[in-house]
Amino acid sequence: MPEKMPTRAPRLGLLIMLLSVGSAVGLGVAFFAVLGNVPNPQRLMTPMVVTMPPQLTGSIEARVAAADPSKGAAVFEKYACNACHRAEDGVGPALTGMGKRAALRRPNYSPAAYIYESIIEPNAFIVPDYANVMVSNYKAKISEVELFDLIAWLLQQ
Ligand code: HEC
């Protein structure tokens, strides 16, 4: 009887090995399936990637320069930004001085690029001492023309 024992242990070992190889392959397949579904940044609302490497900020600058800041206040109201951003600090940072602060928040970001990212991908950077509560679906709602008019106006605040 005892001589049968040794044959069982290797079989169990083989089974465990096969199971772990199988689950590793399964995980790999799941991983690539998820990766494959990540939207191509080029398909997002603008041709820029959302969290922009500094070398892409130039095109945001150009669009902001071509925008109409005098229309920005209306966009700010239309999308109820003023529910959280008033003259003074409140739920969100103050509107007053936003343009100047935008230059200081993220290294290597132009002020326009920072404001762009703050609106389109608010979770990319959370202003210290604030809660992560900003509405995060503006990229689905706001038109490009509105967005750049809004950014141009915010830079003047
Ligand atoms: C529900 C409240 C809320 C709404 C609505 C909201 N925000 Fe914000 N916003 C915040 C909070 C809180 C922060 C700071 C935390 C963070 O970085 O997400 C913030 C951060 C910002 C910043 C960065 C400010 C800084 O000082 O660095 C900008 C720019 C901004 N929001 C613009 C907008 C614009 C434009 C809209 C409308 C299209 C808007 N927000 C709507 C709450 C809001």
What confidence tens digit (pLDDT) does each residue in 24-44 have? 655 544 444 444 444 433 333
- Expressed in angstroms and rounded, the spacing between residue 101 Cα and the centre of ligand 1 is 13
* Measured CA angle at 58 (ends 77, 124), to 5 deg: 55
Lowest mean pLDDT among 6-20, 55-69, 76-90, 100-114: 6-20
Q: Look at residues 87, 125, 128, 90 and name the one whose alpha carbon lies nearest to residue 106.
A: 125
> Given ligand 1 and candidates 85, 141, 157, which is best to mutate, with the most ligand atoms within 8 Å of its CB?
85
Whether pLDDT at 48 is above 60: no
Region 110-124 average pLDDT:
93
Q: For the chain, what's the residue count?
A: 157
Whether the CB-CB separation of 74 and 82 falls below 8 Å is answered with no
Domain boundaries, the chain: 2-38, 43-155
Region 92-103 average pLDDT:
97
* Higher-pLDDT residue of 36, 112: 112
pTM of the model: 0.73
> Given ligand 1 and candidates 134, 148, 153, 155, which is best to mutate, with the most ligand atoms within 8 Å of its CB?
134
CATH number of 43-155: 1.10.760.10
